[in-house]
Structure 1
Amino acid sequence: MSTKYIYTFGVIMTVVVALLLAGFRTVTAEAAARNEDIFNKREILATLAEPLAEAGSPIETLTDAEVLAIFDEQVEQIVVNPAGEQVADVEFSAIDLAKEYKKPEAQRLYPINIFNIDGERYYVFSVRGNGLWDAIWGNIALASDLNTVTGASFDHAGETPGLGAEIKDNAGWKSQFKGKKIYNGDEFVSILVRKGGAIDQEHEVDGLSGATVTADGVTKMLYNGLKAYQPFIEEQRAEAGATSMNLK
């Protein structure tokens, strides 16, 4: 076999292997992106576990296809600016809160998932903040009154297992958020994670033992995160109030 033939064969094999690897990386990246998207959607749906269960779609039994179908058929995804105005020329999928929070507040954009479940509207707001070691983030859902919490989900980049990581792992702790109010009358107050246990049962939840800094981070994240949506929330509350008055 000539040296030239061996060289040509080697070049061809190198190109073939490179193409196969590139194709494998593309397929793997697409699968990873799809899995991450479904995971994030499940986290959002977790904030609406009760209304979904009442509608016959308990989240623990939903297949990936059913999760995607809910978002296709029952969700309006919008982007708003700091004034609470909908931004029509920006794709919802283009919003990355980690990047948005690096911008000046006046330039940030915020995503909102609006669900229609059995004729009722639910609003899921995404928030982001800092824990003890790194970033924390989450979703909090409000009922149609844009005051009553239906559920919350949280995640983190590096909180301590058994301590700060409980914001993600402790289902019992997260369940405390259901039914809490983010307004006290007309005053926005958000929800306080109180060390030593909740005192105001409408606006507070119990803290996490041994994870005071992370819990304080959740309090700050919820207050600042929801306050960023306040112009939108209050406009919707005003419109709902006006509609209610007109129906009387």
Structure 2
Amino acid sequence: MNKQSNTYTIIYIIILVVVVGTALAATSLALRERQQDNVNADKMSQILNAALISPDKKDVVAEFDKYITDQFVVNERGETVEGVKAFDVNVAAQSKVAADRRELPVFVCTTADGAVKYILPVYGAGLWGPIWGYVAFDSDGSTIYGAYFAHQGETPGLGAEIEKPAFSSQFEGKKVFKDGRFRPIAVVKAGQQPLNGEDYVDGISGGTITSKGVGAMLDNCLTPYKKFLQGLSRPAL
């Protein structure tokens, strides 16, 4: 075949595309399991961080198995949903579903001193993209033990500060039940206070939209857990 012909060029390009495409597909398949393992490990680390446990990267899976002693899914009525694993729930998708149809993951953490914490995932929108996190509650179902927040693309030095302990540590000790009413933690401008008496934290200076996004995220994602959290403080019959 004439190597200078258009036919030869087209055949050569087709073969090259097929070979390269096959190689890329094979590489992707070979790495898929490892990539998923890394994603899972990162999620485990975030869950543990909400309970103020910071595992070494190499020990994440072992530490998760050690401290997360149970996990399950509940609905808005606080009832356990059978056949669904908490770790596998797509919280991003569930956050957009009507509250009465959501699958709500719960991770139970038993700390080194034997205290039990309940870790709930949250997901929302910041200024430039999604934000998410985990909030750990004491066994009274009201007091926040710890929190962890992350983002995809918030502005460094501004909205991105939600991932720093200086912001998340403000949630420790705050309560979501005040005067018998469920009131998710408000995120307000420094120096201000919410009008209806709920517990609050200071938002990020210069990161107003991201701060409001965190507040809206907590309201949207924690409110459906109201009956579950209430049930934690009730003595078993």
TM-score range, shorter chain: 0.7 to 0.9
Which amino acid letter does the alignment assign opposite residue 223 of structure 2?
A: K
- The alpha carbon displacement at 1:197 in A equals 3.0
Which amino acid letter does the alignment assign opposite residue 96 of structure 1?
A: N
Are residues 1:161 and 2:161 paired? no
- The alpha carbon displacement at 1:210 in A equals 1.0
How far, CA to CA, are the matches of 1:146 and 1:215 in structure 2? 24
Q: SS in structure 2 opposite 1:220?
A: helix
- Out of 72, 85, 95, the residue aligned to residue 65 of structure 2 is 72
Q: SS in structure 2 opposite 1:139?
A: strand
Q: CA RMSD in A?
A: 2.7
Kindly provide the CA deviation profile for residues 161-219 of structure 1, in whole angstroms up to 9, marking residues without a partner as x: 22111112x22122111111111132111211110236489811111111111111111
- The alpha carbon displacement at 1:20 in A equals 5.6
Which amino acid letter does the alignment assign opposite residue 63 of structure 2?
A: I
Q: Cα–Cα, structure 1 residues 15 and 48, in superposed 2: closer, same or farther, change >3 Å? A: same
Aligned length: 220
- Out of 129, 132, 136, the residue aligned to residue 134 of structure 1 is 129
Kindly provide the CA deviation profile for residues 53-112 of structure 1, in whole angstroms up to 9, marking residues without a partner as x: xxxxxx2x5343x32123324321111112211111123333101122333333211111
- The alpha carbon displacement at 1:145 in A equals 1.4
- The alpha carbon displacement at 1:114 in A equals 0.6
Q: SS in structure 2 opposite 1:145?
A: coil
Contact 1:198 1:205 in 2 (8 A): no
- Percent identical among aligned pairs is 38
Contact 1:140 1:149 in 2 (8 A): yes
- Out of 168, 171, 181, the residue aligned to residue 175 of structure 2 is 181
- The alpha carbon displacement at 1:27 in A equals 2.7
1:55 aligned residue: none
Q: How does 1:25-104 map to 2 (within 5 A)?
A: 25-49=28-52, 52=53, 59=54, 62-64=56-58, 66-75=59-68, 76-104=70-98
Q: How does 1:99-138 map to 2 (within 5 A)?
A: 99-117=93-111, 118-138=113-133
How far, CA to CA, are the matches of 1:198 and 1:28 in structure 2? 50
**Normalised by the size of structure 2, how large is the TM-score?**
0.81
How far, CA to CA, are the matches of 1:220 and 1:139 in structure 2? 14
Contact 2:75 2:101 in 1 (8 A): yes
More helix by share: 1
Q: SS in structure 2 opposite 1:78?
A: strand
Kindly provide the CA deviation profile for residues 135-157 of structure 1, in whole angstroms up to 9, marking residues without a partner as x: 22111111111211111111123
Which amino acid letter does the alignment assign opposite residue 38 of structure 1?
A: A
How far, CA to CA, are the matches of 2:99 and 2:213 in structure 1? 19
Contact 1:198 1:204 in 2 (8 A): no
How far, CA to CA, are the matches of 1:222 and 1:104 in structure 2? 15
Contact 2:48 2:64 in 1 (8 A): no
Are residues 1:197 and 2:200 paired? no
Q: Cα–Cα, structure 1 residues 188 and 32, in superposed 2: closer, same or farther, change >3 Å? A: same
